[in-house]
Structures are given as structure tokens and as C-alpha cells.
Amino acid sequence: MIKFTFLCLWYLLPAALGNHTASCGNRIWLPAIIKDGLAKLARPVDFGVLWRGKEIFGKNKTWRGLLVGIAAGILTAGIQALLFFKIDFFKINTLVDYGKVNFILFGALMGGGALMGDLAKSFIKRRLDVPPGKPWFPWDQLDWIAGAMILSSIVYVPPVWVMAVTALLYVAVHLCSDRVVCHMGIKKREEVN
């Protein structure tokens, strides 16, 4: 049971970290030159354009978050690939065969998919007049999970039962980790679902 839990959590980790860093990318430590460059990308993905009188995604969904989330997904998958090749434990306990799957592509699909799922959910929230940042359980937890699994299925598809258990585990992890980063001051309370 512990091994299976690890397999599930490890599989979706690039998406989970991509999702979290996207929302707190401006509050993580980075060299000033990178932080200044990213600050220029702190513009809404929808450019503030309205559709039927409402924001498309909302001002909280920025190009900076998208870039940081994808980069975090790639970095995480890169670390996973390195561990996969260097340490037998990870080779045996990793669902993705990094000998066959390019870690850059997989990480980008995981991080990008998580954020695409989040954008889709934000689009629906705007149509239903749910304010940006307002908790919307369970969709705030499931959006990024579904997006990451769907987009990354281009290069890897786990068994359906693995996807189901992974989703359940990460709903719980997401609820707990949001509260932790809030208490650490990395995320604002109104950003926690």
C-alpha cells in the first residue's frame, strides 16, 4: 500500500509542483534578474479582454504563472529522470519509463496541463459568477489533476485505477498543502481553496 501510494504521488508530482509554483511564483526566491523578467509577464493570460461582459479567466491567471508552472514541471520531471537513471529504488518505483519518455516533454505537458485545467475551471467560474480566488471544492483540486493527466497522456497513460487513486490522493494533498503554504506566508489566505 505504501509503495502504491508513492507511485501515484510520484507520477503526478511535476503537475502538483507546477500548479503550486504558478500561484506563488512571485513569492518564491529567485535571482533578481529572473524575478524582474518574470514581473514583466505578470499580465493576465486573457489580456483583460471581456467575453459577454465577464473576464475570460480573470486577472489572477497570468503569463508569469503559466511560465513558472511549466518550468517547475520540467525541473521536477528532470529530477525524477535523474533519480530514475541513478538510483534503483526510483527505477523500480516510477510509473513513467524515462528511458522511453523525454523528461522535458513530459514535465512541460504535466505542468502545462495542470495550468490548462486551472484555466478551464476559471473560465467556468467566471461564467457562473464565482469570484476569482473564492474556494470552489472539489473543482479547485480536480481541475489541475485532470488537465495534467489529459495533456500528459500524449506521452504516457497510466492504468485507469492508478489515475483514480492518484486523483483522490492529490485532492487530499492539495487541501493540506494549501494550508501549509498559507501559514508559511507563501500564499495569501484568499488564494487557499
Domain count, the chain: 1
Q: Is the pLDDT of residue 29 over 80?
A: no
24-28, 107-111, 150-154, 164-168: least confident range: 24-28
Q: How far is CA 50 from CA 130, 151, 156, in A?
A: 16, 27, 36
Residues 60-86, mean pLDDT to the nearest whole number: 95
Query: 3-state DSSP helix/strand/coil percent for the chain, to nearest 5?
Result: 65, 5, 30
Which residue pairs, CB below 8 angstroms and at least 24 apart, start in 52-56? Answer: 54/126, 54/127, 54/129, 55/126, 55/132, 56/123, 56/126
- DSSP letter, residue 24: H
Q: What is the pLDDT of residue 145?
A: 96
Residues 1-11, mean pLDDT to the nearest whole number? 93
pLDDT at 51 over 90: no
Residue 30 belongs to domain spanning = 2-191
Report the mean per-residue pLDDT for the chain.
88
The pLDDT of residue 76 is: 98
pLDDT of residue 187: 60
Work out the percent of the chain whose per-residue pLDDT is above 90: 55
Instruction: Give dist(CA 139, CA 151) in Å, integer.
Output: 18
Among 20-29, 145-154, 164-173, the range scoring the smallest mean pLDDT is: 20-29
pLDDT of residue 28: 67
- pLDDT reported for residue 192: 46
Most confident of 43-47, 160-164, 180-184: 160-164
pLDDT in tens, 79-133: 999 999 999 999 999 999 999 999 999 999 999 999 999 999 999 998 898 887 7
Model pLDDT, residue 87: 97
pLDDT at 193 over 60: no
Ranking 40-44, 76-80, 124-128 by mean pLDDT, the lowest is 40-44
